[in-house]
Amino acid sequence: MKFVDEAVIHVEAGSGGNGCLSFRREKFEPMGGPDGGNGGRGGSIIVRAESAVNTLVDFRYTRRHRAKRGEGGRGGNCTGRSGDDLWLSVPIGTTIISEGTEEVLADLVEEGQEVIVAKGGHGGAGNAMFKSSTNRSPRKTTNGVEGEIRELRFELKVLADVGLLGLPNAGKSTFIRSVSAAKPKVADYPFTTLIPNLGVVAISRHQQFVIADIPGLIEGAAEGAGLGIRFLKHLARTRLLLHLVDVAPMDGSDPAESARVIMRELEKFSPALAGQERWLVLNKIDMVPEEEREALRQRMVDELNWKGPVFVVSAISHQGTDDVCKEIMKYIEECAFRCEEDVEFAEKEEQHRITLEEEARAKMRELAEQKALRREQRKLSQEEGDDEDDDDDDFDGPEVFYVE
C-alpha cells in the first residue's frame, strides 16, 4: 500500500429538509387544521481514528465527500427522515486542519477518537409549527438550513516515542531491525528508505516504546531537496531523537561533517526540532579497529562540541544496541513521571510540541509555495518560447502542460 501522509479534501454536510405545507382533510372534518411536518436533519460528516487504517491514500483519489440531505416533511405531522451521517476513517495520529484559515480542528491520537468536521443543517419547520389561537390556518413554512461546507487538510504524523535521524545509509533501517521486529529493507548497496517505518522495542513484558525510522536527510533538505524534509514533521510527537552517524562511510567522507549537515538542516527546518532532546549514536563501529574507537568517539565529541549522551554501536552485529534501548526506556519513563507530577513541566512539553508542529507546518507551506512559483515560472517561460516560435515560424506548436 502506498504511504500517503497528507491529503486535502472537500466535505459537504447534508442540508436539512424543507418544512411541509399541508392541511388535514378527512371525512366529517371540514376544518381539520394544519398538519405539515418538519423537515429532517441533514447528515453530518464525522472523522474517526482507527488503528486498521495506516495511510491517507484513499483521500488522494476520493477528494469530495458529501453527506445525504434530510427529507422534506409530509402531511399528517410527519417529520422527514434525517440524512445518514458520513463516517471517514483516518489513521491514528491524524491532525485535521481547516484549509485557508489553518485552524486545527482536531488531533486524533487515540483509537476510536472522533470529531464532527461538518455539521448537517437543521430541518425546516412545517406549517403546523406556526399554528396559534390567532392564526388557525398558517400557510408559512421554512426551508432547511444548508449543511456546512469545508476544505480540510489531513496531516498524518506517526506516533512514536523515539525518532531516528541521519544521512542516507547511516544505518537507521538496520538499527530498527536490530532492536525491534520491524523489517524495513536493508541491503549491501547504498539506497535510502522511502517511507517511515515503525518498530516496537520491548525491554521487558511491561516496558515498551515505539521507534520511528524516517527517510534520510541530505544537504539542502530544508530547501526541498530529497525526501527526508517531507517526513521531518513525523518527529513532532517524539520525546527523543537518535542522531545516527556512520563512522566508516563508503565514500570516505568525514563523520563529523556528516553530523553537522543534519544539524544545519534541522535548524533551517525548525528551531524547536533542533532544540529537542537528541542523543548521538555512532554506528558501524565494527568497521573501526578496536584500539581506535575511543579516540574516534572523543574526536566526534570535541569537533561537534556535543554535550548530550553519546553511544557507540554496531547495529548489524547488535553491539551496544541493548544499552541504548535501556537508556531510552529509562529516559521515557522519567519524562512520563515528570509530566504526571509536575504540571509546569507538562505544559512546557505540550507547548514545545505545538510550536514544533506550527514551525513544521509553516516550513512545508513555504516549500509548497516556492514549488508552485517555480512551476508557474516554467510555464510562463515555455509560453514565451512558444510565442517566439510563432513569430519566427508562424507555426502553432503543441500546447505543453506541466503537471505533477
> What pLDDT is stored for residue 384 in this prediction?
73
Query: Which amino acid appears at position 346 of this protein?
Result: A
Question: Which H helix or E strand runs over 267?
Answer: helix 255-269
> What pLDDT is stored for residue 341 in this prediction?
86
- The DSSP letter of residue 404 is -
- What are the residues whose beta carbons fall under 8 Å from the beta carbon of 362, sequence distance 6 or more? none
Can you give the pLDDT of all 404 residues of the chain as single tens digits? 456 778 899 999 999 999 999 998 877 777 778 999 999 999 999 999 998 887 888 888 889 999 999 999 999 899 999 999 999 999 888 889 998 888 889 888 888 999 999 999 999 999 999 998 888 889 999 999 999 999 999 988 777 888 888 887 788 888 888 888 766 555 444 445 556 777 788 888 778 888 888 765 555 555 555 554 566 777 777 888 898 988 888 777 888 888 888 888 788 777 888 888 889 999 988 888 888 888 988 999 999 888 889 999 998 888 888 999 999 999 989 988 888 888 888 888 888 888 887 877 777 777 777 777 878 888 888 777 654 444 444 433 333 333 33
- What are the residues whose beta carbons fall under 8 Å from the beta carbon of 154, sequence distance 6 or more? 6, 7, 8, 9, 56, 59, 90, 94, 95, 96, 97
> What pLDDT is stored for residue 350 in this prediction?
83
Which pTM was predicted?
0.68
> What pLDDT is stored for residue 191 in this prediction?
46
> What pLDDT is stored for residue 183 in this prediction?
67
Other beta carbons within 10 angstroms of residue 381's beta carbon come to 10
- Cell matching residue 280: 548521538
Other beta carbons within 10 angstroms of residue 344's beta carbon come to 8
- The DSSP letter of residue 27 is T
Beta strands in 207-357 (DSSP E): 207-213, 240-246, 278-283, 310-312
Place of cell 509560453: 383
**CA angle (207 as vertex; 202, 213 as ends), nearest 5:** 45
Which domains are present in the chain?
A: 1-136+145-156 (2.70.210.12), 162-359 (3.40.50.300)
- The DSSP letter of residue 222 is G
| Strand partners for 213 | 164, 197
> What pLDDT is stored for residue 145 in this prediction?
94
Q: Which long-range contacts (CB under 8 A, 24 or more apart) does 386-393 make?
A: none
Nearest to 94 by CA among 357, 369, 312: 357
CA-CA distance, 215 to 169, in Å (whole number)? 10
Max Cα separation, the chain? 110
CA-CA distance, 156 to 36, in Å (whole number)? 48
Nearest to 245 by CA among 264, 225, 261: 261
> What pLDDT is stored for residue 184 in this prediction?
59
> What pLDDT is stored for residue 195 in this prediction?
64
> What pLDDT is stored for residue 389 in this prediction?
46
Phi-psi domain of 284 (left: phi exceeds 0; alpha: psi -120 through 50; beta: other): left
Nearest to 286 by CA among 321, 252, 324, 313: 313
